[in-house]
Amino acid sequence: MSFSIAGKTAIVTGGANGIGLAIGRHFADAGANVMFADMDEKRLAEELGEQADDSNVRYFAGDLREKLTIANLLSATLDAFDQVDILVNGARQVISTDPLDLEDDSVRTLLNQNLMPALRLSQLVAKRMIKQSEDQEDGPNGSIINLSSIAGQRAHPGLLAYSVSSAAQDQLTRSLAVALAPHRIRVNSIALGSVMSASLQATLKDNRDYRRDIEDHTPLARIAAPAELAETAQYLASDAAAFITGQVLTIDGGRTLLDPVAAPAH
């Protein structure tokens, strides 16, 4: 089977920085058409402005918590590239939680930010993928990849909301994989350990001990670079993974092998 994604069209959310940006750039370098989507229009323009005139790179700015914005994102992708074959739900937010604070609404906030846009966009993109394959009797139809976290598998009091939303994303992956399998659409999730995302980089800047704590709880004793996730995403998007669906692939440097996990994942 081929790892090639050349000629395919991908939507990558969270594409303005960090992991989403790295995945989108890797896909584009591999010959895919890529629509980078994010709320941060300024950062999108800074990172992709010069590339956006290329034949295989575009970007879209908007709040994906809004249903109309999701519809507009798909429309913009189809206007630019005529089809969509890959969706990477990479937009994520991490916030701290006080589990005993009755006024803390962070669980609702992160479900609205991390889960619902992924669900709605997956539903809309899946319908398009099904329509595109109406004349095909077999072969791959599409791939949806969700980015979640080992926080969904391990508990940390300060990350209650993030853990709940990550676990929900993993179950979303499994449920959609079963629902979309008859349409030959595969759905998988990448559960991340500590990756040098924009938010983690900002946190480490003000707390040197935090980095040491993370490394001490990771058998490979380091934090992953965003680019390290890109090839895994390409594998799941390619025909090489044609018989893989409903899986949560953990990439954490061995972190979940240790129990308990004393430091937050991000």
We report the CATH number of the domain holding residue 57 as 3.40.50.720
Residue 154, both tokens = 């391990």
Among 46, 155, 47, 153, residue whose Cα is nearest residue 97:
155
- CA 168/CA 189 separation, integer angstroms: 11
Q: Is 212 part of any domain?
A: no
Give the predicted TM-score (pTM) of the model.
0.93
pLDDT in tens, 59-102: 999 999 999 999 999 999 999 999 999 999 999 888 888 888 87
Among 2, 245, 141, 28, residue whose Cα is nearest residue 12:
28
Q: Which domain holds residue 13?
A: 9-194+225-253
pLDDT of residue 51: 76
**Residues 59, 162, 210, 235: which is the catalytic one?**
162
- Binned at pLDDT 50, 70 and 90, residue 116 comes out as very high
Q: Is 244 part of any domain?
A: yes
Q: Is 203 part of any domain?
A: no
Give the whole-number percent of the chain exceeding pLDDT 90. Answer: 71
Residue 176, both tokens = 């959609």
Give the whole-number percent of the chain exceeding pLDDT 70. Answer: 94
Q: Is 162 a catalytic residue?
A: yes
Question: What single-letter amino acid sits at 205?
Answer: K
Decide if pLDDT at 135 tops 80. no
pLDDT of residue 210: 85
Q: What are phi and psi of 206, to 5 degrees?
A: -100, 0
CB 36 within 8 A of CB 19: no
- CA 166/CA 159 separation, integer angstroms: 10
Q: Is 61 part of any domain?
A: yes
- DSSP calls for 100-114: T-TT--HHHHHIIII
Residue 88, both tokens = 């990477």
CB atoms within 10 A of CB 139: 9
Decide if pLDDT at 260 tops 70. no
Strand 248-251, strand 142-149: pairing = unpaired
pLDDT of residue 21: 96
Q: Is 210 part of any domain?
A: no
Instruction: DSSP letter for 181, please.
Output: G
Domain count, the chain: 1
Decide if pLDDT at 53 tops 80. no
pLDDT in tens, 202-212: 778 878 788 88
Decide if pLDDT at 229 tops 60. yes
C-alpha atoms less than 13 angstroms from C-alpha of 240 in its C-beta half-sphere: 12
Question: What single-letter amino acid sits at 102?
Answer: L
Q: Is 200 part of any domain?
A: no
Q: Is 3 part of any domain?
A: no
Q: Is 266 part of any domain?
A: no
- CA 166/CA 174 separation, integer angstroms: 13
